[in-house]
Amino acid sequence: MRNAVVDPAPNEPALSAAPAPKRKPWYRHLYAQVIIAVVIGILIGAKFPETGKALKPLGDGFILLVKMMIAPIIFCTVVHGIASMGELRKLGRLGFKALLYFEVVSTIALVIGLIVVNAYKPGVGFNIDLQTLDPSLTEKYAQQAKALSAVGFLLHIIPETFLQPFVTGDLLQILLISILMAFAITALREKGAPLLHAIDRISEAFFAVMRMVVKLAPLGALGAMAFTVGSYGVASLQRLLDLMICFYVTAITFIVFVLGAIAWKSGFSIFKFLRFIKDELLLVLGTSSSETALPGMIEKMQRLGCARSTTGLVIPTGYSFNLDGTNIYMSMAAIFLAQATNTPLSLGQQIQLLLVAMITSKGASGVTGAGFITLAATLAALPSIPIASLALLVGIDRFMSECRALTNLIGNGVATVAISRWEGEVSKDTLRSRLDAPE
């Protein structure tokens, strides 16, 4: 007997497809609001410099609000991620892969920076007379750089008290106490389960607070950009425009080709990944700080399918050991200063610079003006390049820091997904479907 086609009853309405969800207006998206705020901030700074300078507290206040949340979010994420693994062997394997990845990619970034600056030679012909530079401009950076010696760096990881890192916001110290706490909870076995559950609930509360804080991002971006342009002016970029263009082009090339190749090997498109984290990128662009996007990156990497344990370990650790943008900047800026001051550097000295930079760049997390301070530490270890020449870069460091922060953020995001793929936590198909899905 053939299957009969049953028509709907005359008094019964035919079933209709569910209405498509209403799309959010473009102006309600965070990235659109940040772009508008950045443009307004630039206009204010250019047309009304004094007003732009007066808006600095908006940017500073927003960054302080975000930094206020970073320490507890990192603590909860790392503790829950490691303690919920169950087996410590996996943590050792994951940590080894992460550190190996960081060292290889960071070294590639340093080498690319050296090659480009030697080929393009942006500092040749400046013929800077060191007597004309104000040493007071770089004195504070030189003093902070002295603390970045190998022994000082290792001792600095250990906080004086358990709560000190939550006050200072030092990521490496927070990582240390988080890992120790995670090991302790794992050792407690069943007794540690309620504590782990409580940390998970507290983490959700911190992320909820963070979502409220991020809504203020447009105000923070407006204040930061208005102050930058109002203080230094658009004309302040002209003198060192060559170095800036060189650095920006190199960073973009690194993202597209080096990080793009890693992404392709891991089964996803770097361009779709950039679209996926556009809110965080624009947040960093407006504030010149990659730390402001850290909680959002943790959440988005988990949304892509990366395990909580991997995300909790790789993202925070990457902020100290995987600073691709800072590495490119350091190698290019050091050679630029040598060129600008007519300081000859042999190939051996440049290789020495590379080795020193590989060490000093690891001390950059949680330090204001980190790229500048680590550059000062590198120059202090290479007396052939006068440290007073850093004064040349003070005026444009704010503009350079944006590119550094963006490259660092993208590099850490790609690292998290790549390591998750190596661990078999997420498939290519899952990655592609979630990157293609509408927001």
% helix, strand, coil for the chain, step of 5: 80, 0, 20
Question: What's the chain's length in residues?
Answer: 439
**The residue to which tokens 């300078």 are assigned:** 53
Q: End-to-end CA distance of the chain, in Å?
A: 48
Q: Is pLDDT of 288 > 60?
A: yes
State the pLDDT confidence band at 11, using cuts at 50, 70 and 90: very low
Residue spans of alpha helices (H) in 288-427: 294-304, 308-321, 324-340, 347-360, 370-381, 397-422
pLDDT in the model for residue 234: 61
State the pLDDT confidence band at 236, using cuts at 50, 70 and 90: very low
Could you tell me if 258 and 108 are in contact, meaning their C-beta atoms sit under 8 angstroms apart?
Answer: yes
pLDDT in the model for residue 12: 43
Domain boundaries, the chain: 29-151+166-436
Residues 409, 242, 259: CA angle, nearest 5 degrees: 30
Residue 130 DSSP label: G
Give me the torsion for CA of 288, 41, 61, 278, rounded to 10°: -50
**Sign (positive/negative) of CA torsion 155, 156, 160, 163?**
negative
Closest by alpha carbon to 272, among 106, 109, 104, 417?
417
Closest by alpha carbon to 166, among 225, 206, 219, 222?
206
State the Cα–Cα distance between residues 256 and 251, nearest whole angstrom.
9
Helix axes 56-83, 278-287, angle to 10 degrees: 130
pLDDT in the model for residue 373: 63
pLDDT in the model for residue 124: 77
pLDDT in the model for residue 18: 46
Could you tell me if 74 and 317 are in contact, meaning their C-beta atoms sit under 8 angstroms apart?
Answer: no
Note the pLDDT tens digit of each residue in 142-197: 555 555 555 666 777 788 888 888 887 776 788 788 888 888 888 887 888 888 88
**The residue to which tokens 């990366």 are assigned:** 306
Lowest mean pLDDT among 75-89, 127-141, 150-164, 409-423: 127-141
Note the pLDDT tens digit of each residue in 289-326: 677 788 889 889 999 989 887 888 888 778 777 888 88
Lowest mean pLDDT among 39-48, 245-254, 350-359: 350-359
pLDDT in the model for residue 380: 66
State the pLDDT confidence band at 257, using cuts at 50, 70 and 90: very high
State the pLDDT confidence band at 394, using cuts at 50, 70 and 90: low
State the Cα–Cα distance between residues 11 and 17, nearest whole angstrom.
19
State the Cα–Cα distance between residues 299 and 42, nearest whole angstrom.
30
Mean pLDDT computed over every residue of the chain: 77
pLDDT in the model for residue 368: 41
pTM of the model: 0.68
> Which is more confidently placed, 83 or 419?
419
DSSP letters along 124-137, please? TT----GGGS-THH
User: In this structure, which long-range contacts are made by residues 423-426, counting pairs with CB atoms below 8 Å and at least 24 apart in sequence?
Assistant: 423/94, 423/97, 423/307, 423/310, 425/305, 425/306, 425/307, 425/310, 426/304, 426/305, 426/306, 426/307
**The residue to which tokens 């206009």 are assigned:** 43
Closest by alpha carbon to 419, among 168, 161, 100?
100
Note the pLDDT tens digit of each residue in 14-58: 444 445 456 667 667 776 787 788 788 888 888 888 888 888 888
Fold of 29-151+166-436: Proton glutamate symport protein (1.10.3860)
Sort 207 into a burial class: Cβ within 10 Å, 0-12 / 13-18 / 19+.
Answer: middle
Could you tell me if 364 and 329 are in contact, meaning their C-beta atoms sit under 8 angstroms apart?
Answer: no
Residue 248 DSSP label: H
State the Cα–Cα distance between residues 365 and 170, nearest whole angstrom.
7
**The residue to which tokens 């997420």 are assigned:** 426
**Residue 413 structure tokens:** 């995001």
